[in-house]
Structure 1
Amino acid sequence: MDMPLDSLPKRLVGQQFPLLSLPSTTGETLGPMDFATGSFVLFIYPRTGRPDRVEPPEWSLVPGAKGCTPEACEFRDLASDFASIGYRVFGLSSQDTDYQREAAERLHLPYPLLSDPGFVLATACGLPTFGFDGELLHVRSTLVVRERMITHAFLGINDAATHPAALLEELRRSRPGVGLH
């Protein structure tokens, strides 16, 4: 990626969220109309692990890579709080829907996980990615969208477990303002 990571959020805020179609763990495909209206938080993560599979030790050395399960669970625990201020929650990774469905069921997630193996969103928005073990993955990020406009963008999140609560507080304070991060 040519643009420095710290300048990306400023570029994204105020841009329209792309109208795309993505399969979800609910069995439905979310399409352009699902993203065109209302408000939502989209947290983007590299990948979830499974209890029956051991992660390579090098995974914990990648900044921001670990923490997908704690982040997903924190968004789960705060989903009703986000809803109370008008935001739906979605998670997104490049993993296929069947793989994600296992995590959604095991973690009892009340929101859908979206699958973007073709990196359509990353390409459309210029979101950062990285390679690990021969696989292309999303850099942990969060986009907040209101009426299709990106109002907040957080890229390269390193503290996955505390980010959802901090985001909730930020949205409570700035509602319905526009923020740069």
Structure 2
Amino acid sequence: MALNIGDKIPDILGINQDGETVKSSDYAGQKLVLYFYPKDSTPGCTAEACSFRDNFSKLRKAGYQILGVSVDDEKAHKKFIEKQQLPFPLIADTGKKLVEAFGVWGEKTFMGRKFMGTFRTTFLIDESGTIEQIIGPKEIKTKEHAEQILKQL
């Protein structure tokens, strides 16, 4: 069963690009943009990550920390962060625990081919770790996703 608005997020979120455990309690008292994306270093995911990078200080000023999540491993995340100079951590959800808990893992179709993958989805989480808003795949414009969030605040 997927997490919804009003639900508390799990404490253990996963492992970041440096192999460190990331917990929601690490962000207690802070708001969080938790965004799920399909794959490191692909055009749409790079555009989305760069949107967060380019608006990082504005989001921080609005009180938000940023955490990205994909099923890529730590090594891929580290490379992606270095190449795009991302100022925020990425969670390596290789066991798919987080994507399944948040209900963003499922069957996708691309060019007539069906496969399992991550639905691009963003969760805005309040200071107590409760989901306030969910922005789904059809609403997200990768090149201006951070601006979409900032306009709503």
Query: TM-score band, normalised by the shorter chain?
Result: 0.7 to 0.9
Pair 1:161-2:143 in alignment: yes
Query: What are the equivalent positions in structure 2 for 1:36-115 lying under 5 Å apart?
Result: 36-49=28-41, 66-115=43-92
Provide the aligned C-alpha RMSD in A: 2.4
The alpha carbon displacement at 1:15 in A equals 1.2
Gaps of 5+ in 2: none
Higher Rg of the two aligned structures: 1
How far apart are residue 120 of structure 1 and its match?
1.2
Question: What amino acid is aligned across from residue 142 of structure 2 in structure 1?
Answer: A
Give the TM-score of the pair, scaled to structure 2: 0.84
Q: 1:35 to 1:17 in 2, by over 3 A?
A: farther
Runs of 4+ in 1 over 4 A off after TM superposition: 131-135
Percent identical among aligned pairs is 29
After TM superposition, give the deviation of residue 162 of structure 1 in Å: 1.6
The CA distance in 2 between the partners of 1:164 and 1:76, in whole Å, is 9
Asked if structure 2 preserves the Cα contact closer than 8 Å seen for 1:22 and 1:116, the reply is yes
- 1:22 and 2:14 aligned: yes
Map of 1:54 onto structure 2: none
Q: TM-score, normalised by structure 1?
A: 0.72
Q: Which residue of 1 aligns with 2:123?
A: 143
Larger strand share, 1 or 2: 2
Alpha-carbon shift at residue 126 of structure 1 (Å): 2.3
Q: How many residues align?
A: 148
In the alignment, the residues of structure 2 paired with residue 110 and residue 135 of structure 1 have an alpha-carbon distance, to the nearest angstrom, of: 31
Amino acid at match of 1:151: E
